[in-house]
Amino acid sequence: MKSTDFIKKPLFTVDSVLFTVQDNVLKVLMVKRAEAPYRGAWGLPGGFIDIDLDQNTDMTARRKLAAKTGSAPNYLEQLQVFSGLERDPRGFSVTLAYYALVAYQAVASHIETVEMACWIPVSELTELAIAFDHLQIIELARQRLQQKTLYSMIPVFCLPQQFTIGQLMAVIEAIIEKPIQRKSLMRRIEASEIFEVSNEKTTSGGRFAQLYSLKPDANIINFERNLSV
């Protein structure tokens, strides 16, 4: 291995776009950068692989998320690699971006205790100083999440273990930013066969809503049709 290899190796990092839905608004976990470059700007939670700690890049993403949220996300999937000379002032860089989902309730209290980690509505990101190309990464993650919401049930991962259909519907509508038919959602819940019912629950004035939860061994399936756009 020549010494030039050292210089020419690109920086490799792992970043995650952690989504949740709170009050019918899609939000992203952002971290205020304490170091250069882009010191003081908001960036995605992430960092370098630690070969001693991480079996693979999934573990890196989980470790970095746990550091900020104190827990593991309900869903984690690779988004895309972003690379190039321009995206980091330190030189050629390669970032593996993940996107992830979590229930707001699961991390809300922990977030408050963490210095400079914050849920930011995706619609308000443009008002902030965002580090690197992270705004672009978030936008792609949002598109992927929207698309996947049209043909799968992944939005359940933005909810606590027990949830009502009304809550699931609200989360879906927050993600795709369009209303959907309650009836269509119920048909899919039945067809997917991955949910089970439990007790009852009441919310803001109205009939009791059935509580659902994911079956323990449930695999998220893909429907063969999209919901209408």
**DSSP secondary-structure letter at 90?**
T
Let me know if 197 is exposed, middle or buried by CB neighbors in 10 A (0-12, 13-18, 19+): exposed
Cα separation, 111 vs 20, whole angstroms: 13
> At a CB cut-off of 8 Å and minimum separation 6, what does 40 contact?
32, 33, 129
**According to CB under 7 A, which one of 81, 187, 193, 198 is a site residue for DNA?**
187
Question: Which pair of structure tokens corresponds to residue 153?
Answer: 């049930």
Per DSSP, the three-state class of 146 is helix
Residues linked to residue 47 through DSSP beta bridges, in sequence order? 14
Alpha-carbon distance of 109 to 203, in angstroms, equals 22
User: Considering only residues 108, 210, 215, 222, which one is a binding residue for DNA as defined by CB under 7 A?
Assistant: 210
**Under 8 Å CB-to-CB from 127, ≥6 apart: which residues?**
none
Q: Which is nearer to DNA, 97 or 176 (CB)?
A: 176
Contact status: 202 vs DNA (CB under 7 A): yes
- Check binding of 188 to DNA (CB under 7 A): yes
**b/e burial code for range 111-144 (CB count within 10 A of at least 16 → b):** beeeeebbbbebeebeeeebbbbbbebbebbbee
Among 204, 216, 217, 219, binds DNA (CB under 7 A): 204
**Residue 183 in contact with DNA, rule: CB under 7 A:** yes
- Smallest separation (angstroms) from DNA to the CB of 48: 42
Residue 115 binding: pick among DNA, a second copy, none (C-beta 5-8 Å cut-off by kind): none
Which does residue 53 touch among DNA, a second copy, none (CB within 5 to 8 A, set by kind)?
A: none
Q: For the window 45-74, what string marks contact with a second copy as x by the rule CB under 8 A?
A: ----xxxx--xxx-----------------
205 binds DNA (CB under 7 A): yes
Contact window for a second copy (CB under 8 A) among 21-29, 85-93, 118-126, 172-180: 85-93
CB of 109 to DNA, least distance (A): 25
Closest CA to 111 of 71, 143, 167: 71
Name the residue nearer to DNA (CB basis): 68 or 188.
188
Q: Quick one: which segment of 1-9, 109-117, 185-193, 213-221 binds DNA (CB under 7 A)? A: 185-193
* C-alpha pair distances (Å), 148 with each of 48, 73, 218: 28, 17, 17
Site for a second copy contains 229 (CB under 8 A): yes
| Interface contacts to DNA, rule CB under 7 A | 164-166, 180-184, 186-188, 191, 202-210, 223-225, 227-228
